[in-house]
Chains A and B, each alone.
Chain A
Amino acid sequence: MSIVEAERLCKHFPGRRSLFGAHSGVVRAVDGVSFTIEPGQTLGVVGESGCGKTTTAKLVLGLEQPTAGDIRFEGKDLRALDAAGRRHYRRSIQAVFQDPYASLNPRMRVGAIIAEPLITNERLPPSKVRTRVLELLDLVGLASRSAELFPHEFSGGQRQRIAIARALSLSPKLIVLDEPVSALDVSIRAQILNLLRDLQAQLGLAYLFIAHDLAAVAHMSHAVVVMYLGRIVEYGETHMLVRAPKHPYTKALFSAALPSRPDEWREEIVLSGEVPSPLRPPPGCHFHPRCQLAMPHCREHAPRLRETEGRHIACHLYAAAPNGKVEAWPAGR
Chain B
Amino acid sequence: MAAPLLEIDNLSTHYVSARGTRVIRAVEGVSLRLGARETLGIVGESGSGKSTLALSLVRLLPPSGRIASGRLMFEGEDLLQKSEAEMRRLRGKRIAMILQDPMASLNPLFTIGDQVAEPVRVHERANRSTAWRRALDLLKAVRIASADTRLRQYPHEMSGGMRQRIVGAIGISCEPRLLIADEPTTSLDLTIQAQYLNLLRELQQAHGLALIFITHNLGIVAKMCDQLAVMYAGRVVEAGPVRQVFNAPAHPYTQALLNSIPRLSDSRRRLTAIDGQPPDLAMLAPGCAFAPRCTRAMDRCRSVAPPSTSMEDGRKVRCWLLPAGAGDLAGTVQSGAA
Residues of A within 8 A of B (CB): 48-49, 155, 157-158, 185-191, 193-194, 197, 212-216, 218-219, 238-239, 242, 252-264, 268, 270-272, 274-275
Contacts and interface: CB of A to CB of B under 8 A. Distances in A.
Interface residues of B, number: 46
Contact of A48 (B191, B198, B216, B278): B191
B271 A187 contact: no
Interface stretch (B146-154, B168-176, B217-225): B217-225
Nearest to A258: B219
Nearest to A275: B189
B262 interface: yes
Nearest to B47: A185
Interface of B: 45-46, 159, 161-162, 189-195, 198, 216-223, 225, 242-243, 246-247, 256-257, 260-265, 267-275, 277-278, 293
B217 A258 contact: yes
B99 to A, nearest CB: 19
A191 B272 CA distance: 8
B223 A259 contact: yes
Given A190-B273, A191-B274, A194-B271, A253 B260 contact: no
A253 B272 contact: no
Given A48-B189, A212-B189, A186 B45 contact: yes
A187 B161 contact: no
A252 B191 contact: yes
A259 B222 contact: yes
A155 B280 CA distance: 11
Contacts of A252: 191
A258 B272 CA distance: 20
A143 to B, nearest CB: 14
B38 to A, nearest CB: 14
A274 B166 CA distance: 15
A271 B45 contact: no
A219 B195 contact: no
Contacts of B223: 258-259, 262
A187 B198 CA distance: 27
B195 A271 contact: yes
A234 B77 CA distance: 56
Given A185-B46, A186-B257, A258-B220, A274 B278 contact: no
A185 B268 CA distance: 21
B246 A188 contact: no
B190 A212 contact: yes
B246 A190 contact: no
Contacts of B272: 190
A262 B220 contact: no
Contacts of A263: 243, 247
Given A256-B190, A260-B265, A187 B270 contact: no
Contacts of B267: 215, 218-219, 238-239, 242
A255 B270 CA distance: 23
A194 B193 contact: no
Contacts of A213: 262
Contacts of B194: 255-256, 268, 270-271
B148 to A, nearest CB: 19
A225 to B, nearest CB: 16
Contacts of A188: 274, 277
Given A187-B274, A191-B274, A193-B271, A216 B262 contact: yes
Nearest to A277: B159
Given A190-B272, A194-B270, A194-B271, A262 B242 contact: yes
Contact of B262 (A155, A193, A275): A193
Most buried by B among A185, A186, A256, A268: A186
Contacts of A216: 262
A262 B191 contact: no
A261 B270 CA distance: 18
The 5 closest A-B pairs by CB, nearest first: A258-B219, A219-B262, A190-B260, A256-B194, A48-B189
A215 B263 contact: yes
A37 B267 CA distance: 20
Given A185-B46, A219-B267, A260-B222, 6 more contacts: A49-B189, A185-B278, A215-B264, A256-B193, A259-B222, A274-B162
